[in-house]
Structure 1
Amino acid sequence: MGISVAGRTVLITGAAMGMGRLYAERAVREGAAHVVLWDRNAQALEATAADLRALGGSTVHPHALDVSSQEEVTAAAARVETEAGAPDVLINNAGIVRAKYFWEHTPADIDAVMQVNSLAPMQITRAFLPGMIARRTPARILNVASASGTLSVPKMSVYTASKWAMIGWSDSLRLELNQSGNGHIQVTTLIPSYIKTGMFAGARGPLMTPLMEPQYVVDRAWDALLEGKARLQLPWTVPLGSALRGLLPQPVWDVVAGRIFKVYQSMDHFTGREDIR
């Protein structure tokens, strides 16, 4: 059963630009009472907040923080609870990528990717869940994963690991909430292939999988989120690839993925921005 954000509180991480900003615009246009923006880029955050305020109708709360810092997350969550209450809609959108062979990653690379892409969504959600549970009103959580969390991709080992973790945690959380009698909170896991945000500039989508437009993905994800849909995989080749990987013997899948679908070559020409939170 779908819900509306009208009169409610929406919190988005990685909200200063890209898809995070698009989610925020959608929230304002649909009448959210409070739109909370989390991002570490303070300058871009303030610019986005000003643009959203110009749209009118919502109180916009920009908070500059690094979501990989537990201390900063805890402090920011407390401010949100005071200013707007626990969010009715939480969108864990922030993410970063490091595209290189595993042994070329520094320890700092590994920590950053796992912290931002996997641990931060868990800690942020944990900070707000008690309030969302106690309120007993319909609530939604969108966790942004990646098709890389379903298929192995060379030069993406750490990023892929972070998104596999995101998918496993997100769907387990969905089941736990339903099992414990807290089904008023529905969790949606978004699993997209490459998107034209600049984050994956130079990446080449697998066969029949062009880079998607950000607005298209946001619109589809927004609808799935409000409907409480468990999982959204975009485009159609993502669930196909997952199914084939499960059905085919590994040597056969390696040939299909490497030579036919070109999954294993998709990051060979990567030039995108590495830090987007």
Structure 2
Amino acid sequence: MELDTVAGKRVLITGAAMGLGKAFAQRAVREGAAAVELWDINETALKETAAELAGFGSAVHHHVVDVASAEAVGEAAAIVREQLGGIDILVNNAGIVRGNSYFWETANRADIDKTMAINSLAPMYVTLEFLPAMVAGSTEARVLTIASSAALVSNPRMSVYAASKWAALGWSDSVRIELQQAGHDHVKVTTVCPTYINTGMFDGAKGFLFTPILEKQDVVDASWRALKKGTPLVVMPLSSRLNRALTNLVPIKLRDRILTAAGIYRSMEEFTGRKQ
């Protein structure tokens, strides 16, 4: 069962103030969503994005939410249910990355907690607030989670990030299968695993063999199509799918040599991240 459009749907996007999240919000309002709910922790950028989206015909709401906090998510979700009655389309987009050091060089243990909380736990917290009503309903509903190709292939200097995205992928795809087993075919779960994207979040990271830094709009377009179709998993680009297959097919020592030669294992050596 596919969605031709999100027109008339209620859409919630986390990490919606900038980058992929903002682009998803733009797609939702331009496609005629009845309401678009924007969550982000950056109040200034969130207000600016909400103002930009006003006037397209959708009701645009925004809340400052720390998705790493289950309590904050619960409070914000209660407001959304009161205002909108529920959500039809959920985009779990919020994420952070820390990198460019070996794990044993980690200076701040809080970075570990924050990375796991935002990338792994937050999608669970947010989805659990809205999925029961999606299941109980009868209309087409969708959950889209932005994971990473780091969930598929180990990568030095980003071990905690990789762990968080492995967890996000394992959780998201397991929920997809649970919905199938329980016969809730009107609710579809999609997980997207892209390589580095030019949103600023991965500034300094290097593209590798046959894998340039992805364009933000290409990722949004592919994810949006997959969301509406109910596609289970999107891995992009093609070279990342090949790396995934390689990981499963060849001995580990050979895999390591190949991925080192391809540049994957050295892609985070000059990582700086988004400038504040």
Contact in 2 for aligned 1:114/1:162 (Cα 8 Å): yes
1:209 aligns with 211
Would you say 1:89 and 2:79 are equivalent positions? no
Gaps of 5+ in 1: none
Contact in 2 for aligned 1:97/1:274 (Cα 8 Å): no
Q: Normalising to structure 1: TM-score of the pair? A: 0.97
Q: 1:274 deviation in Å?
A: 8.0
1:75 aligns with 75
Pairs within 5 Å for 1:6-17: 6-17=7-18
1:49 aligns with 50
Give the aligned length.
273
Pairs within 5 Å for 1:233-252: 233-252=235-254
Percent identical residues: 53
Q: Normalising to structure 2: TM-score of the pair? A: 0.97
2:193 aligns with 191
2:259 aligns with 257
1:181 aligns with 183
In the aligned structure 1, how far is the partner of 2:275 from the partner of 2:246? 30
Secondary structure of the residue that 2:121 maps to in structure 1?
helix
Pairs within 5 Å for 1:59-70: 59-70=59-70
Contact in 2 for aligned 1:201/1:270 (Cα 8 Å): yes
Alignment-mate amino acid for residue 190 of structure 2: T
1:163-201 superposed Cα distances (whole Å, 9 cap, x missing partner): 000111110000001101112110001000110010001
Contact in 2 for aligned 1:9/1:85 (Cα 8 Å): no
In the aligned structure 1, how far is the partner of 2:185 from the partner of 2:104? 43
Relative distance call for 1:245 and 1:114 in structure 2 (3 A) is: same
Pairs within 5 Å for 1:99-114: 99=99, 100-105=101-106, 106-114=108-116
Alignment-mate amino acid for residue 139 of structure 2: T
In the aligned structure 1, how far is the partner of 2:38 from the partner of 2:61? 6
* Higher mean C-alpha displacement, 113-122 vs 175-184: 175-184
1:5 aligns with 6
In the aligned structure 2, how far is the partner of 1:254 from the partner of 1:213? 27
Relative distance call for 1:225 and 1:264 in structure 2 (3 A) is: same
Would you say 1:147 and 2:155 are equivalent positions? no
Contact in 2 for aligned 1:39/1:65 (Cα 8 Å): yes
In the aligned structure 2, how far is the partner of 1:131 from the partner of 1:250? 44
Compute the RMSD of aligned alpha carbons.
1.1
2:139 aligns with 137
Q: 1:40 deviation in Å?
A: 0.3
Gaps of 5+ in 2: none
Alignment-mate amino acid for residue 87 of structure 2: P
Contact in 2 for aligned 1:98/1:274 (Cα 8 Å): no
